[in-house]
Amino acid sequence: MTTYYTEDHEWITVEGDIATVGITKYAADQLGDVVFVEVPEAGASFGKGDDMAVVESVKAASDVYAPVAGEVTEGNGALADAPETVNEDPEGAGWFCKMKLSDSGELGSLMNVDAYKAFCDGL
């Protein structure tokens, strides 16, 4: 399983043609206490960079963008009742959705963990 990152602080892990998407620990820390999460429903399709979810915290509301194009196979409904999971485990149980990739070639434009760490260090 490989994990990729975007400059908008989304992460995506890929297993076969199914990807799991969420926001990074860096993003969760910047947001502060998350109080609401709206995740996409199964069947929704997104192009790379499309708004696909919303996360609201005590500080701000932010859009979450699709790191690649695909069709959602599952939204993490548990976040509706426990949005704090995004703060507690942003790159684990705090995932937003799973999606079937439309074009795995789009993964090439994303960062690996070392590149993402360097990107964050430069902010």
3-state secondary structure of 113: helix
Percentage with pLDDT > 70 across the chain: 100
Here the tokens at position 80 are 């509706």
d(CA 12, CA 97): 10
For 28-32, what is the mean pLDDT? 95
pTM, to two decimals: 0.95
pLDDT band at 25 (very low <50, low <70, confident <90, very high): very high
For 114-120, what is the mean pLDDT? 97
Which domains are delineated in the chain? Answer: 2-121 (2.40.50.100)
Is the separation of the CB atoms in 69 and 106 below 8 Å? yes
Q: Computed over its alpha carbons, how large is the radius of gyration of the chain?
A: 13
For 48-61, what is the mean pLDDT? 95
Whether the pLDDT of residue 21 is over 90: the answer is yes
pLDDT band at 1 (very low <50, low <70, confident <90, very high): confident
Count of beta carbons in the 10 Å neighbourhood of residue 109? 11
Here the tokens at position 23 are 């926001």
Mean pLDDT of the chain: 96
Buried (b) or exposed (e) across 44-64, using 16+ Cβ within 10 A? Answer: bebebeeebbebebeeeebeb
pLDDT band at 82 (very low <50, low <70, confident <90, very high): very high
Residue 83 identity (one-letter amino acid): P
